[in-house]
Amino acid sequence: MTEAVSRPTLEAVAARAGVSRATVSRVVNGGDGVREPLAERVRRAVAELGYVPNQAARSLVTRRHDAVAVVIAEPETRVFADPFFALQLRGISKELTAHDNQLVLLLTEGRDDHARVARYLAGGHVDGALVFSLHLDDPLPGLIHDAGVPTVFGGRPGWGDDGDAAGHTRSTGEGPGVVYVDCDNRGGARAAVRHLVDLGRTRIAHLTGALDQTSAVDRLDGYRDVMAGVPGASDPRLVVESDFTPGGGERAMRALLDRCPDVDAVFAANDLTALGALRVLRASGRRVPEDVAVIGFDDMLPVAMEADPPLTTVRQDIEEMGRLMARLLLRGLADGRDRSAAMAQPPPAGGVILPTTLIRRASA
């Protein structure tokens, strides 16, 4: 399959340009401190020979890889049921590419893969990692954190310094805390519920997400924030636990109608759940939004747009979240290199929360 002929080396370029390897190296890496005529000769030689630096040789001496691992744990199929993941990846990819970094994708299929991932990260193949931690009890984030690789998390990890209910042990005692990017789940939920209140609804229910994920917990908290502020609105029976799936949404909605036939609004933890609720509502003869208003979360297309009726929902800028994660990591890496200190500092600790916006369509 075409030429496996060895590609030109620095040596070859140097020879052709009539200079030393060191000079070529300087030109190739930014070219500071090389006089223009010479630099030009080198550039021409590079072009003529089609020289491309050997990354392995370079890494060997610089100890850098210009590569970042993206770790996605997907024990559930949920990750693949919506474009969330793909969009995030796209944002990450854009940012990484803009800074000449490669993206090494690590997909894990359950516990067995944890060791593999941990080993890979600890092995120093990449300069940093972007990790999506979906579940509160996932050991992976801890492992990775312990591996000593600069890391930014996607979504608030369950064991972070933040609104952690209690009991979850931090993976280690050291370090100023984790860095993560998340959307404003709680604020978005508040906006949704407030909108329902403004609509004059009085029996507002919530179908939760899988409560082992911080996003579900935060959305539930947002719902409660608003309900607590409306006299007489709170009613535990209005909260039904679900799992972010359409099937779960159906079951939860049916349970809800059993308990509270007078419900006149539903805030679903995500669009898929809302979809299931919509179907049950329709089957029960109720009209949306006339009898029951429905709001979802994610603005997951085409689901939200193609739902019947089109779904009012809380949008988060998923691609931007990915982009931001990469930017944070890269910045942290650069900082670490600039500091003369021996070891790389992590990026400024703490979480970055991206805003959400309520998208009004027909369902509420």
Using CB under 7 A, list all residues that contact DNA: 6, 9-11, 18-23, 25-26, 28-29, 33-35, 38-39, 51, 53-54, 57-58, 60-62
| Binds 122: which of DNA, a copy of itself, none (CB < 5-8 Å by kind) | a copy of itself
| Binds 43: which of a copy of itself, DNA, none (CB < 5-8 Å by kind) | none
Neighbours of 258 (CB within 10 A): 10
Structure tokens at 37: 């005529």
Residue 115 neighbours by CB under 8 Å, 6+ apart: none
Of residues 13, 17, 87, 129, which one binds a copy of itself by CB under 8 A? 87
Task: Provide the sign of the torsion angle of the four alpha carbons 142, 144, 145, 146, taken in this order.
Answer: positive
Of residues 20, 29, 47, 109, which one binds a copy of itself by CB under 8 A? 109
| Binds 107: which of a copy of itself, DNA, none (CB < 5-8 Å by kind) | a copy of itself
Of residues 20, 111, 148, 334, which one binds a copy of itself by CB under 8 A? 148
Residue with smaller CB distance to DNA, 57 or 107: 57
Structure tokens at 357: 């916006």
**90 in contact with a copy of itself (CB under 8 A):** yes
**75 in contact with a copy of itself (CB under 8 A):** no
Residue with smaller CB distance to a copy of itself, 90 or 259: 90
Q: What is d(CA 263, CA 337) in angstroms, rounded to the nearest whole number?
A: 57
The size of the interface with a copy of itself (CB under 8 A), counted in residues, is 67
Neighbours of 58 (CB within 10 A): 16
**Residue 31 region by backbone torsions, left for phi larger than 0, else alpha for psi between -120 and 50, else beta:** left
Q: What is d(CA 20, CA 316) in angstroms, rounded to the nearest whole number?
A: 53
Q: What is d(CA 309, CA 287) in angstroms, rounded to the nearest whole number?
A: 10
Residue 105 neighbours by CB under 8 Å, 6+ apart: 69, 70, 72, 89
**344 in contact with a copy of itself (CB under 8 A):** yes
Q: CB of 342: closest distance to a copy of itself in angstroms?
A: 6
Asked if 135 and 213 touch (Cβ cutoff 8 Å), the reply is yes
**116 in contact with a copy of itself (CB under 8 A):** yes
Neighbours of 341 (CB within 10 A): 8
Residue with smaller CB distance to a copy of itself, 128 or 155: 128
**279 in contact with a copy of itself (CB under 8 A):** yes
3-state secondary structure of 296: strand
Q: CB of 30: closest distance to a copy of itself in angstroms?
A: 18
Beta bridge partners of 357: 315
Asked if 130 and 68 touch (Cβ cutoff 8 Å), the reply is yes
| Binds 166: which of a copy of itself, DNA, none (CB < 5-8 Å by kind) | none
Residues that bind a copy of itself in the complex, under the rule CB under 8 A: 1-4, 7, 50, 52-57, 59-60, 65, 67, 70, 74, 79-83, 85-87, 89-90, 93-94, 97, 102-107, 109, 113, 116, 119-120, 122-125, 146-148, 150, 174-175, 246, 272, 275, 279, 301-303, 305-306, 308, 342-346
